[in-house]
Structure 1
Amino acid sequence: MNKRIFHVLEFDKIISQLMEQAASSLGVEQARALLPSTDFDQVVKWQDETDEAFHILRLKGHIPLGGIVDIKPSVKRAAIGGMLNPQECLDIASTIYGGKQLKYFFDQLEDVEAPIMEELADQIVPLNELEREIKNCIDDHGHMMDGASDKLRGLRSKIRTNENRVRDKLDHITKSKSKMLSDAIITIRNDRYVLPVKQEYRSAVGGIVHDQSSSGATLFMEPQSVVEINNELQATKAEEKNEIERILRELSQRIADDEAFLMQNVDALSKLDFITARAKLSHQMKASRPTMNDHGMIKMKQARHPLIEPDEVVANDVELGEDFSAIVITGPNTGGKTVTLKMVGLCTLMAQSGLQVPALDGCQLAIFSNVFADIGDEQSIEQSLSTFSSHMTNIVDILGHFDSSSLLLFDELGAGTDPQEGAALAMSILDYVIEKGARVIATTHYPELKAYGYNREEVVNASVEFDVQTLKPTYRLLIGVPGRSNAFDISKRLGLSDQVIAKAKEQIGADSKSVENMIASLEDSRKKADADYEQAHNILEETAQLKRDLEKQWRQLEEQREAIYKKAEEKAEKAVAKAREEAETVVSELRNMKTETEWKEHEWIEAKKLLNEAQPDLSKKEKKKAPTIDEDKAKTLKPGDEVKLLTLDQKATVIEQTGKNEFQVQVGIMKMKAKRKDLLFVRRDEPKMEKPLATVRGAHYHVKPELDVRGERYEDALQQLEKYIDDALLAGYGKVSIIHGKGTGALRKGVRAFARKHSKIAGARDGGMNEGGLGVTVLELS
């Protein structure tokens, strides 16, 4: 893609905004190097990455990227034997820690699907030992700590002791010879403790002169009594420096040993930071993901120029490449034609760079092999080119390099020369590029091009709206309506006399008048259609709201009816229970009053059964529809079937079949014969089937098709899982469910890892809506 287009469409400003969203210099460098791609699969992958990060930011609010530094130069220097300084080591430890935090964040991410970013996070190696070694030696300010080694601790202690000895001696001299000093302070020159001595007392104090004041009146002297201690102090400090260098060399070697892992971490962190920066820019622009295509179709709803302030920009709908391959936009200056042109081109470059575009959801953008633009007054004084020559130079270059998969943007095509020749040239250029199959958007002032779109199927007219009442453009793009000059209307509102305007109208031809009238009619029709659409949309919204309100009221009525029915059922059950209790009491008293000869035991049982059957079934459950007489005649009766004896209107039980159409039945305590036509089948007690046990080589395995490991420790859960899978395989199950819950996600990941390693597990997936969702993993056994 040509580099000039980035400057013309101000793509470099988008890159600058993207760089500001990066959390580290790693992301900044990736953003700076970003260029649009012409590879369809690559662009789709970039859009997938940005969309994943966008959803994570929307749901989680952030992606932790703190503490990450570009440590590649330091790691490379350590790998070739260089010694890193404490700050470089600390940056490496900070980056290791930042990588661990990011890895943990994605390990705990359960309610967002982000396979691309999770795969990148899995590449991060948590170098805990290296991080610990660096943190044990260097503090947060980049200073080597005393505990870095036993020798360093001893040397630091010796340094402090010698410093205290020097200070004590100098404090004594300061107090005893204060008159000889310019100031009663202890200072340092050449890393040695000295006193500010007056010039005239040099001999009285004695010692080594290290410096003097600018006036020469004060000498900074090291008294002889502290020279030896200072010497010892300097020697100890030299040892301290050597020990620090030794520790740094060891740390540098440890870093060199982990060079491959560190570089892998940096690469993953760099990509994650860059992806997150793209998503942050989308949130800032209130952008949405475009659906990419490779057949030159652009379809954007309420698209906005990304570099214009949100409270100033006007959103527009743009379509190109489906019903027509070229748009010719006409209208007044400062009406927004050029902004529309740049917006389409810039959104295309952004989409092909993996960035989301400021438009409503569902927008579609094409991947073009090249985007060309001739926009603005690019007159070159140095080259002595006129406006027309400058434009034509660019157009000639474009026509020499474009192809059928290019997007061409022409601003004021054919301007800067004789209007008649310019219009003819513009139409010829448009015909040429349209014939080659390219997608074109052009702006123009020429009235001849207003009729151009009506004569060619591949071209559509468009205009930017102008409010004659306010004499200001509305910046709204109207597809299908060419622009008109509005010169007479504007002049009249500005005060030009009607006589002059009428004379001017006489000067223009009939064709021009008819075209202007046609355009005015189209504008009126468009405005009326827009008003009708808005009214219809409002009515649809009101209807939808009314439907939602009615559904809500219906649900409330159903709930109330259910509550009333349940309350009545409970009340009826209590009444029946009370009646049974009272009846049983009465029967018990009667039984005590009668002898066994008068009351048979089976009579008491039958009476109690009839009492139980007297309880009404008030359940709301749907009753099974009783069979009709005709349907029942085809039913074969068997002993034990419950039937209804129609002649007595009583329930009975079939004992046996005594003839072709005759059965012996029992009604209460009575046995009698009845014809088949007098018996209505009620129900049959089906024998209960015992659940078969899985059998392997004569042994029975009582194995459920699911295992619940919620609340178990990680190791215990995996042990149970391993044994359970063995039992399930022996039982011959083809599929089992492992219930692990959502929680922190550790058990879920453990189950997935176990499934991948087990040779008898063919696959693993999350449970469906009716299987437990993300809290369950379903294993396919082979």
Structure 2
Amino acid sequence: MQVSFSISQKTLERLEWPRILDRLAEFVRTPQALARLHGQGSDGQSGTALFEPSGAGVRERLAETAEAHAILSQGDSPPIGGVATLAPVLTRARKGGALAATELLDVGTLLSVLHETVRFVEARRDAAPRLAEAAAPIDDHSALRSAIDRSLDSAGEVRNEASSALADARRDVHRFASEIQQRLSLTLQDPSVRSHLSDSYYTVRNDRYVLPVRADARDKVRGIVHDASRSGHTLFIEPEALVDLNNRHKQAELAVEQETHRVLRMLSEAVADAADALEIGLTALAEIDLAFARARLALALDAVEPRVEDEGMIHLPLLRHPLIPADEAVPNDLHLGDDFLALILSGPNAGGKTVTMKALALAVLFVRAGLFVPAAAPARVDLFDRVLADIGDEQDIREHLSTFSAHMANLAHIVASADERSLVVLDELGVGTDPGEGAAIGQAVLEELVEAGARIVVTTHYSLLKEMAELDDRFANASVEFDPETLAPTYRLKMGLPGSSSASSVAARMGLRRSVLERAEKLMSREDRRLDRMLSELSTSRAQLEREQREAKRLRVETEATRNEYRKKLERLQKRRDELFRSLRDDLDAAFREAHEEVARVVRELQRGGTPHSRDAERARQELLGLEEKAQRAEKEAGVHERAAPNLRPVDWNRARPGDELELEGGQHARLVALPDRRGRVTVGVGSARLVLPMEQVGIPAASARPKAATPKIRAPANLSAGGTDRCDLRGQRVDEALDRLEEALDAATREGRDALTIVHGVGTGALRRAIRESLARSPYVDRFLPGSADEGGEGVTVAHLDK
């Protein structure tokens, strides 16, 4: 693939990219990822392996980083780690070499990590599809993993379960060794032998069990001499009687060794067969490891995912240099490529101009490497095909170039290479020669670069370059702030303003003698002094203005917080008031129900011929009158509060019926035509027109803030007579009026001892009939109700049989 991103090794070093890689290396878990991190890219340069050559590749890496970032933010982490460098091991296995048990253990560890990593990302495929795809090339190798686990223990010893022949040979070794040791113990107890020994123990020499015999008693103990002490006073002799047993023990050990070697070779061949797939798995594992390393670095830097386009724009709110500790870094807002192409940074030395410029260039490299940028959202860093830089002292002794000559050679290359896909960063453009000539060359270089469409950040002290932003809108000024009170830089960047170099103030802070500074002040031209003073005053005024703006913003925030606090308190009080009134209404409703039940009880006793005690009747009468008076007072008081409420009074849609009177926003009255549909829309009538409105835009009118059924009219019992029926004609009435009339009729019929009440409502749309029958179903007076007979009017009539 043709490389579409280029940067020189010198520029990488000047931007301190190797230090970024070192920081990223702190978060990798595998040697394969570490090697890729510091490896050569497709351009053959060290440290460029992470740079994606294509825009699609950049976006893919950033998406992987985002998925890993989300997983880590939830407290999860992939089981990556403990993997050794296996390239030499796999190479030797391919060539037919037998691997050591420890090397096979390393292969087993890799297989387990691969298996667990695949399980980890597959379990999160919905949230991390790209990481799951990155793990797709990894083979499970379950048979090889099981074979290694079955054959080797954690110490690298071949298990008996690996081979029945190995288990038998080891048993023989143990059996023969035990038998030899027993016979040697008996020999040590034999007085005829013990007297010739230099010590009362047995040992092993040359893999043979032997006795320590005095040299002068060599002829007294028959056997084979295997060794002697340093002094020569002791000979280590294998007793003749044990030679055969020692031979058999040695043969058993050789059998163990041979079978162990066979098992290891068998496993090595299996590794050789899987070597290609294992290398593919290692590569995939390294990519997943790098994705999580990028995410860990993002968390450490509090970095954000940038938007990436191809329009040459950079927008970095609160940008920080990634190598400066968070508690020391001063974040600055930076943008480039939207309203202007070149940003001219000016201000005092050691004020942070170069650091800011490097931070912007590093953000471009971060994006190419799939890294989040150390800025605030919403960050944007578009793709650039090359980064060209002239930073620091370019003096080259080997090429016999002075500082200025080296700068000019570098600038010549930059001017020849730059185009609309280039980011150019230039530190102290035009220095090293006569200031007038240097400034003129610098202006000409910037004009040429802007004509080529490049995006440029340049630092300078030259007034000629600062003035370019006033004459050409392709350029913009920015300056690093200098505190005139402390005579020290604040490292804050001010977009849109050139900065004074404040050379005298910096020199004074560094300890230069005052007389020297006064002489320098006199030597400066009047125009230079005036310009420097104007820039300093402008910077001071702007700093004061920003302090005042921050204070005003703080006061606005505090005021808004206080307003919100009081608004919440008012809402809580209003809610509490509404709850109290609802509680009062509920209590009154309960009392009304009890009153109705009392009336019904009295009526039933009268109908049965009973005579309730006059005092009880009078007491019930007085209680009902008192409840009615209390209800009217509560209704009146609640109505006052409800009228004071700023919003529409909510409608109880469970009790609402077509024909009910409603109030619209703005105070206009309407009637309910149809109840809310599934989408919460209500049909209302206003005059002859019909409107469809959201439920929230209609309410109960002030005059009927509570449904009348909630405060039933209560009358004291009158003289009643038993028997007979009555009729109640409700045709042509609205629902709320009809229900009031119906309740009065039921009350009167009950008092008069009627058996039934015939209610005439007509057929019509059926709305009035439904409302009347629903009210009858809830009434304490009604035992049951039926449609009228054909002679009575059919469905246009309902007959309510009263409760006895």
TM-score by length of 1: 0.73
Partners of 1:69 and 1:496 in 2: CA distance: 58
**Rounded Cα–Cα distance in structure 1 between residues aligned with 2:499 and 2:315:** 22
CA distance in 2, matches of 1:462, 1:180: 100
> Structure 1: which amino acid aligns with 2:383?
I
Return the alpha-carbon distance in structure 1 between the equivalents of residues 571 and 365 of structure 2. Answer: 51
Describe the SS at the equivalent of 2:493: strand
Tell me if structure 1 keeps the 8 A contact 2:58–2:368: yes
User: Is structure 2 residue 75 aligned with structure 1 residue 60?
Assistant: yes
C-alpha distance in 1 between matches for 2:174 and 2:731: 105
Alignment of 1:362 onto 2:362? no
Q: Is the 8 A contact 2:58 2:370 kept in 1?
A: yes
Q: Is residue 2:176 matched to residue 1:162?
A: yes
**How much does 1:109 deviate?**
4.1
Given that 2:469 and 2:475 are in contact with CA atoms closer than 8 Å, whether structure 1 keeps it comes out as yes
Select the residue among 412, 417, 426 that pairs with 1:401. Answer: 417
1:96 aligns with 2:96: no
SS for the counterpart of 1:226 is helix
- In the alignment, the residues of structure 1 paired with residue 559 and residue 330 of structure 2 have an alpha-carbon distance, to the nearest angstrom, of 30
Write out per-residue CA displacement over residues 662-708 of structure 1, whole angstroms, 9 at most, x where no aligned residue: xxxxx97357899x9xx9996353999xxxxxxxxxxxxxxxxxxxx
Alpha-carbon offset, residue 8 of structure 1: 1.9
2:741 alignment partner, one of 642, 647, 650: 650
Q: Is the 8 A contact 2:223 2:238 kept in 1?
A: yes
**1:203–1:375: structure 2 CA closer, same or farther, 3 Å change rule?**
farther
Tell me the equivalent position of 1:105.
Answer: 120
SS in 1 for 2:608: helix
Shift of residue 434, structure 1, vs aligned partner: 1.6
Aligned equivalents of 1:452 and 1:89: distance in 2? 68
Name 1:35's counterpart in structure 2. Answer: 50
2:770 aligns with 685
Aligned counterpart for 1:147 among listed residues 149, 158, 161: 161
- Within 1, Cα distance between the matches of 2:393 and 2:584? 86
In structure 2, what is the Cα distance between the partners aligned to 1:189 and 1:3?
Answer: 65
* Matching residue within 515, 521, 541 for 2:537: 521
Q: Matched residues in 2 for 1:417 and 1:528: separation?
A: 37
Single out whichever of 615-624 and 277-286 deviates more from structure 2: 615-624
1:11 to 17, 27, 46: 17
- Report matched runs for 1:544-623 at 5 Å: 544-546=560-562, 548-550=564-566, 552-553=568-569, 556-557=572-573, 559-561=575-577, 563-593=579-609, 621=652
With over 3 angstroms needed to count, the CA separation of the structure-2 counterparts of 1:575 and 1:349, relative to structure 1, is same
CA drift at 1:272: 1.5
Distance 1:204 1:71 in 2: 58
Query: How far apart in 1 are the matches of 2:428 and 2:413?
Result: 17
TM-aligned CA deviation for residue 276 of structure 1? 0.7
Q: Structure 1 stretch 40-49 or stretch 401-410: which is displaced more? A: 401-410
* Corresponding residue to 2:757 among 658, 669, 676: 669
Amino acid at match of 1:626: E
Please name the residue that 1:431 is paired with: 447
State whether residues 730 and 760 of structure 2, in contact with CA within 8 Å, keep that contact through their aligned partners in structure 1: no
Q: Equivalents in 1 of 2:15, 2:429: separation in Å?
A: 17
Q: 1:367 offset after TM fit, Å?
A: 1.5
Q: Which residue of 2 aligns with 1:410?
A: 426
The equivalent residue for 1:25 is: 31
Q: Across the two proteins, how many residue pairs are aligned to each other?
A: 651
Match of 2:792 in 1: none
Q: Is the 8 A contact 2:28 2:293 kept in 1?
A: yes
Say if 2:483 and 2:490, in contact at 8 Å, map to a contact too.
yes
Give yes or no for contact 1:643–1:651 (8 Å, CA) kept in 2. Answer: no
Q: CA deviation at 1:369?
A: 0.9
Which moved further from structure 2: 170-179 or 160-169? 170-179
Q: In 2, Cα distance between the equivalents of 1:179 and 1:649?
A: 131
Give the C-alpha shift of residue 307 in structure 1: 1.6
CA shift at 1:21, angstroms? 0.9
Q: Is contact 2:730–2:761 with CA below 8 Å preserved after alignment?
A: no
Tell me the amino acid that sits aligned with residue 517 of structure 1: R
Give the distance between the partners of 1:633 and 1:330, measured in 2 at CA.
73
Q: Give the secondary-structure state (helix, strand or coil) at the position aligned to 1:685.
A: helix
Q: Describe the SS at the equivalent of 1:669.
A: strand
Change in 2 beyond 3 A, CA 1:215/1:409: farther
* Structure 1 portions without partners, runs of 5+: 595-614, 654-666, 689-782
- Corresponding position of 2:264: 248
Alignment correspondent of 2:459: 443
Aligned-pair identity in percent equals 33
For the 8 Å contact 2:346–2:501, the answer to whether it is kept is no
Matches within 5 A, 1:86-235: 86-109=101-124, 113-121=127-135, 124-174=138-188, 184-235=200-251
Quote how far apart the aligned CAs of 1:341 are.
2.3
The residue that corresponds to 2:7 in the other structure is 2
- Tell me how far apart the structure 2 counterparts of residues 202 and 562 of structure 1 sit (CA, whole Å): 116
CA distance in 1 between counterparts of 2:185 and 2:253 reads 22
Counterparts of 1:173 and 1:400 in 2: how far apart (Å)?
96
Give the counterpart letter for 1:382 in structure 2.
R
Stretch deviating more after TM superposition (362-371 or 523-532)? 523-532
TM-align CA RMSD: 4.2
8 Å contact kept, 2:346–2:461: yes
C-alpha distance in 2 between matches for 1:632 and 1:305: 66
Moved more, 14-23 or 224-233: 224-233
Whether the 8 Å CA contact 1:644–1:651 is kept in 2: the answer is no
| Counterpart mapping for 1:721-760 below 5 A | none
Question: Following TM superposition, by how much is the alpha carbon of 1:126 offset from its aligned partner in structure 2, in angstroms?
Answer: 4.3
- From the superposition, tell whether residues 165 and 574 of structure 1 become closer, same or farther in structure 2 (CA, over 3 Å): same
The answer to whether the 8 Å contact 1:644/1:680 transfers is: no
**Contact persistence 1:643–1:680 (CA under 8 A):** no
Dislocated runs of 4+, deviation >6 Å: 491-503, 615-620, 627-635, 638-642, 644-649, 671-674, 679-682
Match of 1:272 in 2: 288
- Structure 2 residue matching 1:36: 3-state secondary structure: coil
Secondary structure of 2:74's counterpart equals helix
Give 1:707's aligned residue: none
Answer whether contact 1:644 1:650 (CA < 8 A) is retained. no
* Distance (Å, rounded) in 2 between the aligned partners of 1:432 and 1:517: 31
Which structure: larger Rg?
2
Following the alignment from structure 1 to structure 2, what is the Cα–Cα distance between the partners of residues 257 and 39? 35
Which secondary structure state, in structure 1, belongs to the residue aligned with residue 417 of structure 2?
coil
Structure 2 distance, partners of 1:142, 1:539, is 70
SS of 2:661 mapped into structure 1:
coil
C-alpha deviation, 1:562, in angstroms: 5.5
Specify every segment of 5 or more residues in structure 2 that has no aligned partner in the other structure, as ranges.
1-5, 40-48, 611-630, 639-649, 663-668, 672-684, 690-728, 745-754, 774-804
Distance of 1:40 and 1:188 partners within structure 2:
71
Kindly indicate whether the alpha-carbon contact (under 8 Å) linking 2:105 and 2:148 is maintained by their aligned counterparts in 1.
yes
2:325 aligns to what SS in structure 1?
coil
Q: Hey, what does 1:475 align to over in structure 2?
A: 491
| Secondary structure of 1:21 counterpart | coil
Question: How many Å apart are 1:569 and its aligned residue?
Answer: 4.8
Aligned partner of residue 427 in structure 1, secondary structure:
helix
Alignment of 1:245-394 (within 5 A): 245-255=261-271, 262-263=278-279, 265-394=281-410
SS of equivalent to 2:500: coil
Which stretch of the first structure deviates more once superposed, 524-533 or 17-26?
Answer: 524-533
Contact 2:115 2:140 in 1 (8 A): yes
CA contact under 8 A between 1:180 and 1:198: conserved in structure 2? yes
8 Å Cα contact 1:406/1:439 also seen in 2? yes
Which residue of structure 2 aligns with residue 750 of structure 1? none
Take 2:377 and 2:370, find their aligned partners in 1: how far apart are those partners?
A: 16
Evaluate the alpha carbon distance shift between residue 552 and residue 165 of structure 1 in structure 2; reply closer, same or farther with a 3 A threshold: farther
Alignment partner of 1:15: what SS? Answer: helix
1:348/1:639 Cα in 2 relative to 1: closer, same or farther (>3 Å)? same
Distance in 1 of aligned mates of 2:515 and 2:27 = 61
Distance in 1 of aligned mates of 2:115 and 2:566 = 53
Q: TM-score, normalised by structure 2?
A: 0.71
Change (3 A) 1:262 1:684: farther
